[in-house]
């Protein structure tokens, strides 16, 4: 029996099994959706008996429509966004969303994932969101209409400063209710994408992972954002603190 209140070990054991799920139906047929909180995608979020959150990350879809993935413990950025996202978001724009995982985690009637990496978008995002394979540098031109919430999550640091700043301006114009940003706090170099390619890792567009600009919490606070610092978030790549910033327009 599918139970979102399984212990972590039981939960992981279930999700690691090759369960046959229909496309976009990530709970067994006949089992009802169990939304943990309003606004969360009940297929993506689960909670164990200790109240810890886990998320189901899809990573492969085969021709028959079967979707395989794994459960991971929700990390600090997931929880911060979950706890601070505008509660009634009918539409979400995920800028630089890559494979669309962030859009996948939250419910909305209209979701659009924009990224320059077509392969990443087509792997998964197309299953649950509309996709647009375009460069975020052209965000202001590409998106003339509004969304309740606009995500700029782990994307600004991969853009040149001028382009990233223009994307911020466009996001602030497009968002009716909220802009959410996640980025290192200040410039933190990351040039290890070449080793990812050398090792033969199946990572689409790995060359786009290089860091090209840095954005501080002071910058966002001056623009009216509420900033939350995540100490040593990027220590694994030789960097420092992470930053999640929320611009609430209502």
The region of weakest confidence among 102-106, 227-231, 237-241 is 237-241
Query: So what's the pLDDT on residue 154?
Result: 93
What mean pLDDT comes out for the span 89-104?
93
Which pTM was predicted? 0.83
How many residues in total does the chain contain?
A: 250
Query: So what's the pLDDT on residue 66?
Result: 60
Distance CA 216, CA 33 (A): 39
Query: So what's the pLDDT on residue 238?
Result: 59
Query: So what's the pLDDT on residue 123?
Result: 79
- Number of Cβ within 10 Å of residue 161's Cβ equals 13
Per-position DSSP letters for 212-244, written without gaps between them:
---B-HHHHHHTT-EEEEETTTTGGGT---EEE
Stretch(es) of the chain classified as CATH 3.40.50.150: 77-248
The larger pLDDT score, comparing residue 126 to residue 157, is at 157
CATH class of 77-248: alpha beta
Q: Which of 10-14, 32-36, 228-232 is most confident? A: 228-232
Q: What percent of the chain has pLDDT over 70?
A: 74
Query: So what's the pLDDT on residue 18?
Result: 42
Whole-angstrom CA distances from 95 to 29, 159, 184, 185, 240 are 32, 12, 17, 19, 24
Q: How confident is the model at residue 21 (pLDDT cuts 50, 70, 90)?
A: very low
């Amino acid at each position: 029996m599918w139970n979102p209140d399984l212990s972590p070990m039981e939960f992981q054991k279930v999700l690691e099994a090759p369960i046959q799920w229909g496309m976009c139906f990530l709970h067994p047929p006949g089992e009802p959706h169990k939304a943990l909180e309003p606004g969360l995608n009940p297929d993506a979020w689960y909670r164990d008996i200790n109240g810890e959150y886990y998320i189901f990350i899809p990573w492969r879809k085969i021709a028959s429509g079967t979707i395989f993935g794994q459960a991971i413990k929700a990390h600090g950025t997931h929880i911060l966004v979950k706890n601070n996202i505008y509660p009634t978001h009918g539409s979400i724009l995920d800028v630089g969303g890559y494979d669309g995982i962030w859009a996948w985690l939250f419910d909305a009637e209209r979701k659009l994932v924009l990224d320059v990496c077509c392969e990443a978008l087509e792997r998964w995002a197309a299953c649950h969101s509309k996709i647009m394979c375009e460069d975020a540098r052209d965000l202001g031109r590409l998106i003339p209409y509004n969304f309740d919430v606009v995500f700029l999550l782990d994307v600004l640091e991969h853009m040149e400063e001028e382009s990233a700043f223009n994307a911020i301006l466009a996001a602030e114009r497009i968002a009716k209710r909220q802009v959410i940003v996640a980025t290192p706090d200040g410039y933190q170099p990351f040039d290890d994408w070449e080793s990812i390619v050398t090792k033969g890792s199946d990572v689409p567009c790995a060359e786009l992972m290089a860091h090209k600009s840095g954005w501080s919490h002071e910058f966002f606070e001056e623009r009216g954002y509420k900033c939350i610092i995540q100490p040593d978030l990027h220590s694994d790549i030789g960097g420092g603190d992470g930053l999640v910033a929320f611009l609430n327009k209502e």
